[in-house]
Amino acid sequence: MSAPQLQVLDLGVLPFTAALALQRRAAVLRISGELPEDLLLHVQHPPVVTLGRGFKAAHLLSSPEVLAAHGVELHEVERGGDITVHEPGQLVGYLVLDLKRHRKDLHWFLRQVEQAIIDGVAPFGVVASRRAGLTGVWVDDRKLASIGVHARDWVTWHGFALNVTNDLTTFAHTVPCGIAGVTMTSVARESAQSGRDVPVRLSEVAASVAESVAAVFALDVVRAPESVLASLTAETP
């Protein structure tokens, strides 16, 4: 018998609110069983700052007016964690997984996502790791990826933000993830530092991370059929 699937759907570049609506719809359908397989949505966002349930006002360094003047949106969301930045060139992965089919443990889930990213960036010469007590993925003392999730009925949504080729400028408006003095980095920067002279392509990193996500959750990675996107965009009664 074949393993359950991780269906991967690439949304391209999409405004944050549009992607949020799609993943919320996906979670509803996963909870009901109308989506029979786990889902990974890959997306890039125009510049946006999102505030999680653990947000502290001191961690937003620019006012909403200043953000707007720089073309940066600002949104509050239901995920865990503090403040997070998205910008083009960053790989955002929204994970809609039914943990009842895996392990009903959100801490375990977070560690699995961290491991998937660590494994997924390794082919690009990036030696990433965890830091005790801090959710996310790091290269030495530099933060490479942020993770924040929400769950209902053991179905997850939200997920990870992995810096790949983004220039990291939007982070200047925040205390990233609420960690004072943190330095953000990217797969492209760390790959170049390692001596690898092959350009990093976001599509290749996305494919590698999808394979790693599937591996840590014992799933077969497949491209999501067109019917999945149709179900996420269908008007609800």
Give dist(CA 107, CA 22) in Å, integer: 25
83, 126, 145, 177: the active-site residue: 177
Per DSSP, the three-state class of 63 is coil
| Contact call for residues 40 and 117 (beta carbons, < 8 A) | no
- Please give the sequence-ordered ranges of beta strands (E in DSSP) within 28-106, or none if there are none: 38-44, 48-51, 73-76, 83-86, 90-96
Burial of 180 (0-12, 13-18, 19+ CB in 10 A): exposed
Bridge partners of 76, per DSSP, are 51
Record the tokens describing residue 34, joined without a space.
């109308």
Give dist(CA 221, CA 207) in Å, integer: 10
Beta-carbon contacts of 33 under 8 Å, excluding residues fewer than 6 positions away, are none
Bridge partners of 161, per DSSP, are 92, 146
Answer yes or no: 177 catalytic. yes
Cite the active site residues. Answer: 177
